[in-house]
Amino acid sequence: MTKRSHISLSVNGDEYETLCEPDQSLVDVLRNELELTGTKEGCSTGDCGACSIRLDGDLVCSCLVLAVEAEGKEIETIEGMAPKSDELHPLQRHFLEINGLQCGICTPGILIAAKALLEKNSDPTETEIRFWLAGNLCRCTGYDKIIRSVQAAAEEMRKG
């Protein structure tokens, strides 16, 4: 029996403690130990971006992070994106209004990635958005509505 490690981590500002296997991925612990199932696991190889999260502010694939590495770190997932229980983030709202999603599996990862982009660059070009989101695969939308949703949210956020 492999010895499990005890980890303490902050997710969306809430402190959590849990046990994990030494080779368990962070996405697995988020979903199956902490029951934060908003983050999706697609390919498990860092290609699809569905499991995108922020790790101490860095945009990463949580399938490529060991849960034990998260000890003492601050994690941001889709569950922490809406500012209030009855108010969505502008990105979430515009994805709904413009239909930037169909099945929704890729959406949490895309929203997390898009938020990271807009914090860095409040007025990205279409090309910049497409390159930034190259690590987030969507097999439903054909991407056009995703790009337009990000542009609409960026415009609203610039106006403050």
Partner 1 sequence: MDDVRYEAPESPDAAISLLAEAGSSARVFAGGTDVMVQIHAELIDPGVIVDIKKVPGIMDISESDGAYTFGAATPGMVLMAHEGLSSTWPGIIDGVALIGSIQVKGRASIGGNVCNGSPAADSTPTMIAANAVCNIVGPNGERTAPVEDIVTGPGKTSLVDGEFILSFSLPKRPAHSGDAYLRLTPRTEMDIAVVGAGVNITLDDDGTCTAARISLGAVAPTPLLVAEAADALIGTKVDDAALTKMGEACSAACNPISDKRGTKEYRIKTAAVIARRAVEIALERAREN
Binding stretches for partner 1 (CB under 8 A): 1-3, 5, 21-23, 25, 44-47, 49, 52, 55, 58-61, 63-66, 68-69, 113, 116, 131-132, 134-136
Residues in CB range of 86: below 8 A, 6 or more apart:
none
Nearer to partner 1, 129 or 152 (CB): 129
Nearer to partner 1, 83 or 142 (CB): 142
Q: What 3-state class would DSSP assign to 89? A: coil
Minimum CB separation of residue 87 from partner 1 in Å reads 27
8-state DSSP, 32: I
The structure tokens 């994106």 sit at 81
For 57-135, list the strands marked E by DSSP.
58-61, 74-76
Minimum CB separation of residue 147 from partner 1 in Å reads 14
Q: What 3-state class would DSSP assign to 20? A: strand
Nearer to partner 1, 55 or 101 (CB): 55
CA distance 71 to 19: 11
CA distance 90 to 107: 14
Residues in CB range of 47: below 8 A, 6 or more apart:
135, 137
Minimum CB separation of residue 115 from partner 1 in Å reads 12
Minimum CB separation of residue 31 from partner 1 in Å reads 15
Nearer to partner 1, 46 or 90 (CB): 46
Minimum CB separation of residue 68 from partner 1 in Å reads 5
